Amino acid sequence: MDNVDNEILFVCTGNLCRSPLAEGLFKKLLSEDILARSRIHSAGTGALNGREAAALAIEVARENGFDIAGHRARTLKQEDVEDADFILVMEKSQRDYITRLFENSHEKIYLLKSFSGKKSWNKDIPDPYGYSIEKYRSSYDIIEKGVRGFIQYLEKHDYL
């Protein structure tokens, strides 16, 4: 994409909860200047194109000061993987899926939770879909730590 310094892709399964929350929070935390030079988006390994974000995910986003009500799910495509500088997945199974399907993708795939602290480098972020608002909030808390840690990583390595 022209005039883009970084392309960052968040991936979960359905692209209804975790990846839209991560995308929305990431956008909220970046300056307008950095946003103007970046492409931040999300997709799902098993998404049904056009579905709205889960109602409870929308509620949790609003509780945390951003809006994902306009989000529409999209299926992960080859171009997404090829164009991304960083791909942040919520689960090891998503990382494995992407590396199996798309050659040379393993070097840019990271577990989002790996940015939230040493003890969580190889852990999944639980999928709250179909559960209570408390599960959504719990997953969001982990997503927030990961997103903030990822931003610190980008800043430390002069990507932002």
- Mean pLDDT (whole number) for 96-104: 93
Domains, in order of start, for the chain: 6-156 (3.40.50.2300)
Query: Does 18 participate in catalysis according to the annotation?
Result: yes
Q: Is the pLDDT of residue 123 over 90?
A: no
With left for phi above 0 and alpha for psi between -120 and 50, is residue 59 left, alpha or beta? alpha
Instruction: Select which of 17, 18, 74, 80 is catalytic.
Output: 18
Q: What pTM does this model have? A: 0.95
Phi/psi at 89 (nearest 5 deg)?
-105, 160
Query: Does 127 participate in catalysis according to the annotation?
Result: yes
State pLDDT tens for residues 60-91.
999 999 999 999 999 999 999 999 999 999 99
Query: Does 12 participate in catalysis according to the annotation?
Result: yes
Task: State the burial class of residue 125 (Cβ atoms within 10 Å of its Cβ: 0-12, 13-18, 19+).
Answer: buried
Instruction: Select which of 83, 85, 127, 141 is catalytic.
Output: 127
